[in-house]
Amino acid sequence: MTKTRLSLYYLASYLIGGGVGFLAAPQIGLDLFLSNGTYDDSMVRLVGLLLLSLGILIAQIIRLRLYQLYSTTLIVRAIILIVLAGLYVTSEDPLMLTLFGIVGIGFVFTLVSYMMDRNSSNQEN
């Protein structure tokens, strides 16, 4: 599961980076993510806290090589992508498309890596 593990570094980096960004400078963070909505700073900071917390958990999954949880990260991100698409339809805020793109790239990267790792381990058996 080496390739999958490496793909999770992207996930950890955007979660930790986005979390710190939303915590430290919520309005700048929203501008960077192309938001045209109005969001209260305290809610954006709460989202930042959640992102940072998830990023720390992913970093631990990577560090401890918990390959049993790699597929779970795919399931969770699939749900996130569905919800982000729905939020974009209802809000028309480009923020949701930006987040969809960021999460989607990582999802595809991890999915392809996971499939390659599984194929190589099946061939070894």
Q: What is the pLDDT of residues 38-63, one digit of tens each?
A: 999 999 999 999 999 999 999 999 99
Q: What is the pLDDT of residues 91-120, one digit of tens each?
A: 999 999 999 999 999 999 999 999 999 998
Residue 44 structure tokens: 């954006």
Q: Where are the domains of the chain?
A: 2-124
In this prediction, residue 36 carries a pLDDT of 95
Angle 94-124/70-91 helices, nearest 10 degrees? 160
The pLDDT-based confidence of 30 (bands split at 50, 70, 90) is very high
Instruction: Please tell me the distance from the alpha carbon of residue 40 to that of residue 53, in angstroms, as a whole number.
Output: 20
Residue 73 above 90 pLDDT? yes
Structural contact between residues 88 and 96, judged by C-beta atoms closer than 8 angstroms = yes
